Structure 1
Amino acid sequence: MTQRLVATILLTAIGTVAIAKTPVATGTGGAVATISEQASQSAMAILNRGGNAIDAAVAAAATLGVTDPFSCGIGGGGFMVVYLAREKRVIAIDHRETAPAAFTPAVFLDNGKEMDFETVVASGQSIGVPGTVRGWDEALRRYGTMSFKDVLAPAIDVASRGFTVTANFSRLVDGNTEKFRRFPATAALYLKDGKALPPGTLLKNPDLARTYRTLARGGAKAFYEGPLARAIVDAARRPATAPGMTVPGGTMTLADLADYEARIRQPVRGTYRGYELYGMPLPSSGGVTAFEALNILEGWNLKALPRAQAEHLYLEASRLAFADRNAYLADPEYTDAPVAGLLSKEYAAQRRKTIDPARAAAGPVPAGDPYPFQQDASVPLRPATAKLQQESAHTTHLAVSDSQGNIVSYTFTIESWGGSGIVVPGHGFLLNNEMTDFDFSGPAPNVPEAGKRPRSSMAPTIALKDGRPAFTIGSPGGATIITTVLQTIVNHVDLGMRMDQAVDAPRLSERNGAATDVEPGFAGSAQATALAPFAQRWSNQPEEIGAANALVFNQDGTVTAVSEGHRHGTGSALVQKKAH
């Protein structure tokens, strides 16, 4: 196929003629759900050209780097869970950012005291070695059918021709103007006269289009070595700032970039009411924590309980699982976490006994002791309960399937909205602030160390039933990712909601804190009133929680793609052939 013909196909698929954006679609063949209409269309263009789910997922992700640059991009990292239909197995691709080789556990301490979190975020100190490009390369080479040149073409088109700034996009910029003003390359791209680009603006990113073309020609090597690598290192070590402003530089080197490796890992596996669940293993805590909470919940017949009591039990199970997460989980190459014990059904039964079915815990609870359930004769140290580290809530998730039955559940990020705030000059993408996912002080399993991957909460999940794909689920939202995935599974499996209802339902996020995070409008609602007798406490600063995407594989052979119905400006679900 000639380049001109390819370009024509792509222009037709994601051109200026708007396709009605819908958060739910059912049909046959391939399917995609993302938070961005252009990203979903990019994935569909690749599927229509004969690409598989892995090819389409990378195409969607690259486009999200254009249209949702404050959540994700090639300056960050992520976790991809893949179901390979022919082999009937699930694999996980870890391309989480790593700490530069100069990092020590004291890197975020100043005279023994923790540095100011927001100061570290908007600096070179927060930038980890980006893993996204290496992760895409591993996915395509091992499991895809297309090259970078093929799958980056839709994103190049969107970056070159531009897209219309939405109200949500403008709002996100407005909330970050102070950070973006510090860096001229960022301000030039996303601000106008020092203010957020207004809705309706046609935003082009020719620098990012050129960067993607560089990757299309040179592959991952062009990112991790050579001129682009030097530009990344320069931006991290010596951030170019506006006159009169200075920010600390980082320690990343060319060797750090050249040495970066993605990891192909065995997924973490759980079971719940007849489903086999596959999620991301450490250094993501998402799969382990969600599956532990489900193990705890499995001891109750939630379907037979009033909804308020079922939700109370969900909140308390989440509280216990987060206590264990904070105490034990970190990069498995640095910490011997007791995963087998945490996922033991017997351990869950013990933890379940600590829950009062009629009343919420008075506050944070201590971690349990999973080591006796490890079947391990050693006597490891029992870590003390750790506090919940601040974790930014800004990421993106997508889901793709193809007509052969392959599935991708993929969450990736640059951490805070806009990451570090530093656009690599001349290259059009933001660098992450992922190093702030480490605990700033210890002792703790998640303290900074050279080459270490900070603990994550990303939880891309694939569920099978009777050996066949049943559904996928994932979300952004920092530590609330885990509760969004957990609550959506409970809504769908236990409370009998259709997946779109499960996704759209009000979210409650209990992470072993003093109060449960809720969304605007929840306090005072009928649902909140029904939970009042259980002494649950709500945060007084409600915020939108997550932006989930899911696929459901129906018994009649159709697939339903589901995105958000109202959060984040509404998502985009597409299928190759719509069901009638």
Structure 2
Amino acid sequence: MKKNIRTGAWLALSPIALALTVAGCGGGGNGAQDNAALVAAIAAINAANANRPAPPPPEADKGCLIGDGGTPVVVGSGDPGDPAAPEPASGYVVGHKLVYAKNYMVVANHPLATRAGCDVLKAGGSAVDAAVAVQAVLGLVEPQSSGLGGGAFMLHYDAATRKLQAYDGREMAPAAATENYLRWIDDVADQNPPKPSARASGRSIGTPGAVRMLDIAYRDHGKLPWKDLFSYGITLAADGFPIGGRMAAAISGSAASLKRDAEATAYFFNDDGTPKALGTRLKNPAYARTLGTIATQGADAFYTGAIAQGIVDKIGITAAADGSAITPGKTTMADMAGYVAKRRDPVCGAYRDYYVCSMSPPSSGGIAVVQSLGILETFNLGLYKPTAIDLEGGKPTVMGVHLVSEAERLAYADRDKYVADTDFVPLPGGSVNTLINKPYLQKRASLISLSASMGTALPGDLGSVPLGIDKTEEHGTTHFTVVDKQGNVVTMTTTVESTLGSFHMTQGFMLNNQLTDFASNPDDTSVTPSVKVANRVAPGKRPRSTMAPTMVFRKNSDGSMGEFVMGTGSPGGGTIIQYVVKTLVGALDWGLDAQQATSLVDFGASNSKTTNVGGEHPAIDTSDSGNNDPLITGLRALGHTVGFGAQSSGISTIMRTTVGGKPVLTGGADPRREGIVLGDTFTP
């Protein structure tokens, strides 16, 4: 059985027809291999169909449809009102409304991915099941942001056991990497930088971790058959989907780099060399075959065998399609087979009447989010809530932005100095508590002035730890949040790092450039004598990240962690911390709902004199260099250098609240991207 893309109805599909979809027949592969794959796929699908339960009748659940009135619309149908209809990329789309659901909800940064996750939840799948389905589709429809060739971090909350688990699917450096892997072609024979650049060379590509991370999370919390979770992604890849605005812009903007790769050129460009444009129906039979193999053979098939060999071969190429040189990476089949996704303890801290939990190292995002909030707890932020609150979150106040930005400067200073992959570089005192305990954060808060910005903050004095500054801005990341019928929650940030990763494409998906998140120079020469940076390359090491999938829980009267309140997160590279903190403060301190907190002006600061105020937001007046906007001028009066360029957050937020005395879910999708909210929705 499979669902019809246009009507959402369940259709009987013969085993041979379904196997053709899975095996990707007609995709132009090797004939003998395709025939073997077809035979194996038919056998697997026949066995699956023999035991497949009948799908639920359509009338059993009206979820996963769009439309407040009139005829509901199926996402991906192409009918009027379909949010998956391609539109030009926009900096901000006004008018996003809060969405209510009774039992389950998913928010992702592309409508078709949201649809994939919602269909799984509607069929009784778990939050992790939905995450697998969402990622399978995101890798197809949003290759500029995430995919099978990248990595991810996930938080999972088990409602029955009340256990919160972090999952680490960050990419790893190969065993042959040295500390100069990104700096020089060879440590001894050729100390020139990789060609054509570190990012566009094979050196930037880490061993992908997203598939293995989803595999171990599924083994812990999966409910539906693994093979069923890829069906919508396979169908979309085989039948085609319309190119959306953000993808079209990414193809056009990266044209020169993509054309260095033969597979990317054939996929993203027309025969005359022009980029495939907005609305073009794009088919990806190679991706359908890859998903089909993972679906029928499991995650091991990605890390061994033909798929792994294809990844290793692409990382090892030495010449571009135009004949120019590419410095190869040193990833081997042993690196692929040896990749390990990890279960880690999340970073949690008390904040007012809540506990806020986020991702642990090698991501620095969770520590920085918890630190920022711990510093802000000293101040009564309720006094500085936005004015004129509307669907878009209102107008932030000068003091509200000032305090949040100053707290973030302090958190970023500590992050830059102390945080790296803790499997290689320990945190000060050997514990995250050293960075997030209340006395330390109160001491840090005392450095904030109400009358002037500190500009650049100094890190706290927590002992002699190697410095590791990384200010990389990423654009190849996405985020989604899921709550299933049992109340289990997933919040997951997934990435290929920069837009379209390393520009290396294999078997229908893009490979990451995540290793450029390491410091290219292993030595910090800003101090005398120089020291080794914490975030330097090492064999098997994971580069530091800023991703911060985050959950909030109510604090019980006895101090224990209570019920789930909120799940959120965002893409955005080094600014992820800022996007997550403003969303949390908006909801927890200023009483904004899930959509308002998500839509609210993006603001904050890393550890520099510049404070970001998202100029794409309708509440911000950027005319005359910002001199007509009282928020911008007010911040300048406090000594802030204000940057008001457009921000590219992709915040996905779900909050639990009550309507008529009954618990319900509310969701908000970032108006700066293409995402939507779906679930068993209702209008209160």
Task: For residue 390 of structure 1, report the CA deviation from its aligned partner.
Answer: 2.2
Match of 2:464 in 1: 381
Closer/same/farther in 2, CA of residues 502 and 239 from structure 1, 3 Å limit: farther
How many residues align? The count is 564
Aligned-residue CA RMSD in angstroms? 2.3
Give, in angstroms, the shift of residue 428 of structure 1: 0.3
Deviation string 1:85-124 (CA, Å, 9 cap, x unpaired) is 1101110110110000011112122399894798111111
* Aligned mate of 2:548, from 454, 459, 469: 459
8 Å CA contact retained: 1:128, 1:435: yes
Give the corresponding residue for 2:46: none
The SS at the match of 1:476 is coil
Q: Is the contact between residue 546 and residue 574 of structure 2 (CA under 8 Å) also seen in structure 1?
A: yes
Q: Show the counterpart of 1:375.
A: none
Structure 1 residues 489, 116: closer, same or farther in 2, change over 3 A? farther
Partner of 2:641: 537
Task: Give the letter aligned to residue 420 of structure 2.
Answer: A
Residue 520 of structure 2 is matched in structure 1 by 440
Going from structure 1 to structure 2, the CA distance change for 1:7 and 1:209 (only over 3 Å counts) comes to farther
Corresponding position: 1:45 with 2:116: no
CA–CA separation in structure 2 for the residues paired with 1:114 and 1:353 = 46
Q: Output the CA distance in 2 between the equivalents of 1:304 and 1:328.
A: 33
Tell me the residue number matched to 1:377: none
Q: Distance in 1 between matches of 2:601 and 2:3?
A: 46
Structure 2, unaligned runs of 5 or more = 5-9, 14-54, 59-63, 65-72, 84-95, 386-396, 524-531, 557-561
Which residue of structure 2 aligns with residue 495 of structure 1?
590
Whole-Å separation in 1 of the counterparts to 2:384 and 2:194: 45
The match for 2:457 is 365
Kept after mapping to 2: 8 A contact 1:14/1:154? no
Alpha-carbon separation, structure 1, partners of 2:613 and 2:574? 14
Q: What is the CA-CA distance between 1:272 and the residue it aligns to?
A: 0.9
**Aligned CA distance change for structure 1 residues 3 and 320 (closer, same or farther; 3 Å):** closer
**Which of 228, 249, 273 matches 1:150?**
228
**Alignment partner, residue 330 of structure 1:** 420
| Aligned-pair identity (%) | 35
Aligned CA distance change for structure 1 residues 274 and 173 (closer, same or farther; 3 Å): same
Distance 2:294 2:209 in 1: 14
Q: Distance in 1 between matches of 2:518 and 2:225?
A: 34
SS in 2 for 1:33: strand
Report SS of the residue matched to 1:554: strand
Show CA shifts across 1:127-149 (max 9, x none).
Answer: 00001110111111111112331
Structure 1 residue aligned with 2:474, among 377, 380, 392? Answer: 392
Contact persistence 2:635–2:642 (CA under 8 A):
no
Q: Does 1:281 align with 2:360?
A: yes
* Greater shift in the superposed pair: 79-88 or 301-310: 301-310
Where relative contact order (Cα < 8 A, 6+ residues apart) is larger, the structure is 1
1:131 alignment counterpart: 209
Change (3 A) 1:288 1:6: farther
Residues of 2 paired with 1:248 and 1:516: CA distance? 38
TM-score, normalised relative to structure 2: 0.79
Alignment of 1:313 with 2:408, yes or no, is no
Tell me if the contact between 1:14 and 1:42 (Cα under 8 Å) persists in the aligned partners.
Answer: no
Which moves more between the two structures, 114-123 or 39-48? 114-123
Q: Give 3-state SS (helix, strand or coil) of 2:564's partner.
A: strand
Partner of 2:444: 351
CA distance in 1, matches of 2:471, 2:198: 14
- Secondary structure at the aligned position of 2:442 is classed as helix
Q: Does 1:171 align with 2:249?
A: yes
Decide whether aligned partners of structure 1 residues 83 and 247 sit closer, same or farther in structure 2, where only a CA change above 3 A counts.
same
Residues 177 and 194, structure 1, Cα contact 8 Å, conserved in 2 = no
Match of 1:185 in 2: 263
- 2:340 matched to which residue of 1? 261
1:167-204 CA distance string (max 9 Å, x none): 22211211111110111101111122333211111111
Q: What is the TM-score with the length of structure 1 in the denominator?
A: 0.93
What corresponds to 1:573 in structure 2? 677
Give 1:361's aligned amino acid.
M
1:456-502 CA-to-partner distances (Å, cap 9, x unmatched) read 00000011114111111100000111110011111222222222112
After TM superposition, the structure 1 = structure 2 runs for residues 40-189 of structure 1, keeping only pairs within 5 Å, are: 40-110=114-184, 115=193, 119-189=197-267
Work out which of the residue numbers 368, 372, 376 in structure 2 matches 1:297: 376
- Match for residue 376 of structure 1? none
The answer to whether the 8 Å contact 1:98/1:129 transfers is yes
2:306 to 201, 213, 227: 227
- Distance change >3 Å, CA 143–CA 513, structure 1 → 2: same
Tell me, in whole angstroms, the C-alpha distance in 2 between the residues paired with 1:118 and 1:320.
36
How many angstroms does 1:17 deviate by? Answer: 4.3
User: Is residue 483 of structure 1 aligned with residue 561 of structure 2?
Assistant: no
Match of 2:667 in 1: 561
Distance in 1 (CA, whole Å) between partners of 2:548 and 2:2 is 39
Aligned-partner SS, 1:55: helix
In structure 2, which of residues 501, 506, 509 is the aligned counterpart of residue 429 of structure 1?
A: 509
Are the counterparts in 2 of residues 23 and 573 from structure 1 also a CA contact under 8 Å? no
- TM-superposed deviation, 1:533: 2.0
In 2, Cα distance between equivalents of 1:514 and 1:302:
22
Would you say the 8 A contact 1:13–1:45 is kept in 2? no
3-state SS of 2:178 partner: coil
Structure 2 vs 1, CA of residues 75 and 127 (structure 1 numbering), >3 Å: closer, same or farther?
A: same
Q: Is the 8 A contact 1:475 1:484 kept in 2?
A: yes
